[in-house]
């Protein structure tokens, strides 16, 4: 078994440049608050209102940089609260995903698709993947110890040249394991 850092990913969204400008104004650029663990990604100062058929969240954090297509990442619990039937999908695989409304200070965007519950996944560099004999999109398991010990299966390997070793769980998964902040787990291959 191999020890890996585990991070908790709360609800957030990635915006396309077009949607960013609709929500915040023409030519708008994101303002970085802090860098995130994956190189190039950052928490932005900007937040938007996420509106579903049943309810809304007032201040959902935008994560930068901008992407080709807007993507909203929520938990299954968030989906029930909002009235959004978001499918479990890999980040970037948005075909057939759910829709929602985003409200910013300068405008509103009606998404036909783009809302997902992200599949739990393991980021690692291509060199790390090679040394562990893992392939991109392979599925592994993650064991978390503690009072509410659990083994998560179906953890998707996301290998890339610039990725940093880290397993991402959403807040529902972290709560099930009793994980209050970032920690470590054992990779089961």
120-188: CATH, from 2.30.30, 1.10.10, 2.40.40, 2.60.40: 2.40.40
Residues 6+ away with beta carbon under 8 Å from 130: none
The pTM (predicted TM-score) of the whole model is 0.94
Domain borders along the chain are 10-118, 120-188
Tallying the residues shown for the chain, one arrives at 189
Please compute the mean of the pLDDT values over residues 166-172 and round it to a whole number: 97
Count CA atoms closer than 13 A to 56's CA, side-chain side: 10
Q: What is the pLDDT of residues 115-140, one digit of tens each?
A: 999 999 999 999 999 999 999 999 99
What is the predicted pLDDT for the residue at 182?
Answer: 84
Task: State what percent of residues in the chain have pLDDT above 70.
Answer: 100
Count CA atoms closer than 13 A to 119's CA, side-chain side: 21
């Amino acid at each position: 078994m191999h020890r890996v850092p585990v991070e908790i990913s709360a609800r957030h969204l990635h915006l396309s440049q077009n949607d960013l400008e609709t929500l915040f104004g023409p030519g708008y650029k994101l303002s970085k608050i802090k860098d995130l663990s994956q190189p190039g990604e950052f928490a932005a100062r900007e937040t938007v209102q996420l509106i579903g058929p049943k309810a809304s969240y007032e201040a959902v954090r935008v994560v930068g940089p901008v992407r080709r297509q807007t993507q909203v990442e929520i938990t299954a619990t968030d989906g029930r609260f909002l009235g959004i039937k978001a499918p479990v999908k890999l980040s970037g695989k948005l075909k057939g995903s759910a829709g929602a409304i985003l409200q910013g200070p300068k405008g509103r965007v009606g998404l036909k698709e783009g809302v997902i519950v992200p599949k739990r996944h393991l980021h690692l560099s291509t060199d790390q993947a090679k040394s562990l004999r893992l392939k991109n999109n392979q599925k592994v398991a993650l064991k978390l110890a503690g009072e509410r010990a659990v083994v998560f299966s179906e953890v998707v390997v996301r290998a890339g040249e610039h990725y940093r070793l880290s397993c991402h769980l959403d807040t529902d998964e972290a709560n099930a394991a009793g994980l209050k902040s970032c920690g470590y787990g054992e990779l089961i291959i």
